[in-house]
A and B are shown apart, each in its own frame.
Chain A
């Protein structure tokens, strides 16, 4: 199974324009599995990178991507719960940073109720990011639930 993007291109001769890409039967399944694996690896990389820095910006961005959707409302408490963080103050500097950098938008419905969204209009790449995160990333809250369920 391919773990490298280069290997993937070579395996299916995608960058060789003389050869037609024929996907049938097993090849189709392999092709899907390989893409799936590459995206899963990307999700793991996002996850690992997000835990390295002191600012929780990347983690907050991932939580918003995970919880967000066309008909979903995400507020700061949802993000805090998704990241399994005890105090909201721990993520406020990160939210401020993401807002300043225009990676997210904050809609202030009331003084306390703020809706957070990924700013996909200004940053179209965030759409792929959201798709990967929603499909492959397991949030800390989900991990805690899984670990607790297993330990009991």
Chain B
């Protein structure tokens, strides 16, 4: 069962015993991963708390953030640690980000062996399974900016004589600091996904559904993979809605009502490991159908609006405009 090359378990869903063993492996890997995340969170929290109690609190009693921006502050007493603000913010933001990151990681149920299995299946179908982590890059980029500015403030390279400039800078920099922390956290939840790029701007996202705890109402061996496409069109787009319904109906895709938070249509498919490739191809071909029909529909609409109807050809006067229906070839199939 063990792969000597990569020491990641090889999953087998072909028979009942294999399925049970594989689910067991995934469950134990997930528990290990969640446990590791909890340890990381604890260590980070201890470091942050120690710093806060023994370094930052004594320091904050003597110095205030606002004083640092004025020239008067340069002569302030008790500022014994020249890079205090830079270090404090770096530590604070990194701790918060990492705590949220690991908390989220402990919720993500993808485990190394399952990732390996899905990678193999998708590769055999001609696509590549990617783990997209955008939050870390964004956090590093934004934090580098804030560190640079804080460093200049700490070393007194940025100073303001005029008080209004100082307040404006202070406010806008505070907003930047907040955003540099909030945006990456939002990205952790929204953009860090397991995905397959089908083509430019077309992709399929993955989510895993299984119960780690043993539950009477839920089959412990049911390991569901929910596949979601990129957004298709707004729910207010009537022709888009018709095409979406038709494709979903023909391909037996899950049809969820779009929520108020995300008023867009998405294709959604449910699979288990044994039929993963088939269901994945189903959603990919649904996207193909969408591109063929929605784009051609838009083209025909553009053509319709850009070209006046040839009334003379049909012996009609311009005033007697008939109820012109846009011909949707696809919908009439």
Known: A48-B252, A54-B15, A147-B126. A140 touches B279 (CB 8 A): no
Bitwise, A114-152 to B at CB < 8 A (1) or not (0) is: 000000000000000000000000001001101110111
The answer to whether the Cβ of A93 comes within 8 Å of any Cβ in the partner chain is: yes
B274-A54 in contact (CB<8A) = yes
Q: Which residues of B contact A52 (CB under 8 A)?
A: 275
The answer to whether the Cβ of B281 comes within 8 Å of any Cβ in the partner chain is: yes
* Residues A60-107 near B (CB distance < 8 A): 84, 86, 89-90, 93
The residue that B281 contacts in the complex, of A86, A90, A93, A143, with Cβ under 8 A, is A143
A84-B288 in contact (CB<8A) = no
Bitwise, B8-50 to A at CB < 8 A (1) or not (0) is: 0000011110010000000000000000000000000000000
A151-B198 in contact (CB<8A) = yes
Q: How far is the CB of A24 from chain B (nearest CB, A)?
A: 22
The answer to whether the Cβ of B127 comes within 8 Å of any Cβ in the partner chain is: yes
The answer to whether the Cβ of A2 comes within 8 Å of any Cβ in the partner chain is: no
Q: How far is the CB of B72 from chain A (nearest CB, A)?
A: 63
A151-B277 in contact (CB<8A) = no
Q: Which residues of A contact B199 (CB under 8 A)?
A: 150-152
Q: How far is the CB of A80 from chain B (nearest CB, A)?
A: 12
Please give me the residue from chain A that is nearest to B280 by CB atom: A147
A144-B198 in contact (CB<8A) = no
Interface size class of A (residues with CB under 8 A): 20 to 34
A144-B126 in contact (CB<8A) = yes
Q: Which residues of B contact A44 (CB under 8 A)?
A: 250, 252
The residue that B13 contacts in the complex, of A54, A146, A147, with Cβ under 8 A, is A54
Residue of A90, A93, A140, A144 most packed against chain B (CB within 10 A): A144
Q: How far is the CB of A36 from chain B (nearest CB, A)?
A: 11
A140-B198 in contact (CB<8A) = no
* Residues B46-90 near A (CB distance < 8 A): none
The answer to whether the Cβ of A4 comes within 8 Å of any Cβ in the partner chain is: no
A94, B127: Cα distance in complex, Å: 27
A3, B197: Cα distance in complex, Å: 35
B125-A147 in contact (CB<8A) = yes
Q: How far is the CB of B230 from chain A (nearest CB, A)?
A: 13
Residue of A52, A54, A147, A150 most packed against chain B (CB within 10 A): A147
Interface size class of B (residues with CB under 8 A): 20 to 34
The residue that B126 contacts in the complex, of A51, A54, A86, A148, with Cβ under 8 A, is A148
Q: Which residues of A contact B13 (CB under 8 A)?
A: 54
Residue of B198, B279, B281 most packed against chain A (CB within 10 A): B281
A84, B122: Cα distance in complex, Å: 11
A53, B180: Cα distance in complex, Å: 49
A150-B252 in contact (CB<8A) = no
The residue that A140 contacts in the complex, of B14, B127, B277, with Cβ under 8 A, is B277
* Residues B243-266 near A (CB distance < 8 A): 250, 252
Known: A54-B15, A93-B14. A147 touches B281 (CB 8 A): yes
B124-A84 in contact (CB<8A) = yes
Q: Which residues of B contact A147 (CB under 8 A)?
A: 125-127, 198, 281, 284-285, 288
Bitwise, B74-112 to A at CB < 8 A (1) or not (0) is: 000000000000000000000000000000000000000
* Residues B295-309 near A (CB distance < 8 A): none
Q: How far is the CB of B204 from chain A (nearest CB, A)?
A: 11
The answer to whether the Cβ of B278 comes within 8 Å of any Cβ in the partner chain is: yes
Q: Which residues of B contact A146 (CB under 8 A)?
A: 285, 288
A93-B275 in contact (CB<8A) = no
Please give me the residue from chain A that is nearest to B199 by CB atom: A151
B278-A51 in contact (CB<8A) = yes
* Residues A1-60 near B (CB distance < 8 A): 44, 48, 51-52, 54, 56
Q: How far is the CB of B290 from chain A (nearest CB, A)?
A: 11
5 smallest CB-CB distances across A and B, nearest first, come from A51-B275, A148-B126, A143-B281, A147-B284, A151-B199
Additional pairs, 6, CB under 8 Å, beyond known A54-B19, A144-B126, A152-B199: A51-B275, A51-B279, A86-B120, A90-B14, A93-B15, A140-B277
Q: What are 10 A-B contacts with C-beta separation under 8 Å? A: A51-B279, A54-B13, A54-B16, A54-B19, A140-B277, A143-B282, A146-B288, A147-B127, A150-B288, A151-B198
Q: Which residues of B does A touch, CB under 8 Å?
A: 13-16, 19, 120, 124-127, 198-199, 202, 250, 252, 274-275, 277-279, 281-282, 284-285, 288, 291
